[in-house]
Structure 1
């Protein structure tokens, strides 16, 4: 099948909304590598990223009618579809890892010696931090992964120090909830 060499964005959207297969193939050929790169940055697993990629293009195909050019470009819209789908997959994977069915655990297995306590090296903290709101994720990244102090973050982002500290505290509470613990996972940096 020969592809039309180019579409204007308006033509492409119109053809996609008409369920034109050639337009969809053009969209895939033109944007799939950029979308895959974004998905892979979030998922960090090539096989899962490929699965998410299929889901993304299926969502685009099914939901193109909801695209509104007044809210942004087509690329921005499909980029958001890809990003949101990848984040949803990541969240689902984290939930699956944390979901324990007590019916599946025999009473004899509940001895103190049988309790598994993962070492920090086996937990992908960055993937879990990715689940936070963007402004919280940025603060956690700067303080705990890049080594900034609260004061440096406040100065660098032009945010009041109290706001930085309260957002970090809320972020840590949210992360504790993910781990299902009420004890501190991280010590607050000063």
Structure 2
């Protein structure tokens, strides 16, 4: 089935087109989601939301502006980012079940081992304790500067200044 045929079926709200889209694109879109959201159930929920949005907004797709897959990929990326920024998602990360911690610890250990292999951890250990904290939250745990500010209970401007200073100190150590 060609893209044009699928679009014609979608315009008619034919269920075959939806099934075709899902069968053709769900795996690749799920891979994009899973790359950002590690919890499989959460990622599956996002995938479902993505296909609902695609189905509801298909009229806004313009084949002259780009390919259908690219349009679907943008919806997927935006929906995933929206989910990650939502308060509910952030709270669920903080209140994970005990079973999840085994995987998290294993993944963190793998990551820490990779850092050790390239030697970065030795340089980070030479930094001031506050710098170690800042770098850990911003770069290894993926916190935003605002989240780091809340976590450490220091002003956002201080986090930004410390971040810059700590990175410059790390650069100095790496040049030696």
User: Within the alignment, does 1:57 sit opposite 2:36 as a pair?
Assistant: no
User: Within the alignment, does 1:89 sit opposite 2:83 as a pair?
Assistant: yes
Query: Number of residues paired by the alignment?
Result: 116
Given the two structures, how large is their TM-score scaled by the length of structure 1? 0.53
User: Within the alignment, does 1:177 sit opposite 2:146 as a pair?
Assistant: yes
User: Within the alignment, does 1:9 sit opposite 2:39 as a pair?
Assistant: no
Give, in angstroms, the shift of residue 96 of structure 1: 4.2
User: Tell me, which stretches of 5 or more residues in structure 1 are unaligned?
Assistant: 1-6, 98-120, 123-145, 148-170
User: Within the alignment, does 1:37 sit opposite 2:6 as a pair?
Assistant: no
Given the two structures, how large is their TM-score scaled by the length of structure 2? 0.57
User: Tell me, which stretches of 5 or more residues in structure 2 are unaligned?
Assistant: 92-103, 106-118, 121-137, 172-176
Sort the Cα spacing of 1:95 and 1:45 in 2 relative to 1 into closer, same or farther, 3 A: closer
Structure 1 stretches of 4+ with a deviation exceeding 6 A read: none
Higher helix share: 2
- Counterpart pick for 2:60 among 54, 57, 66: 66
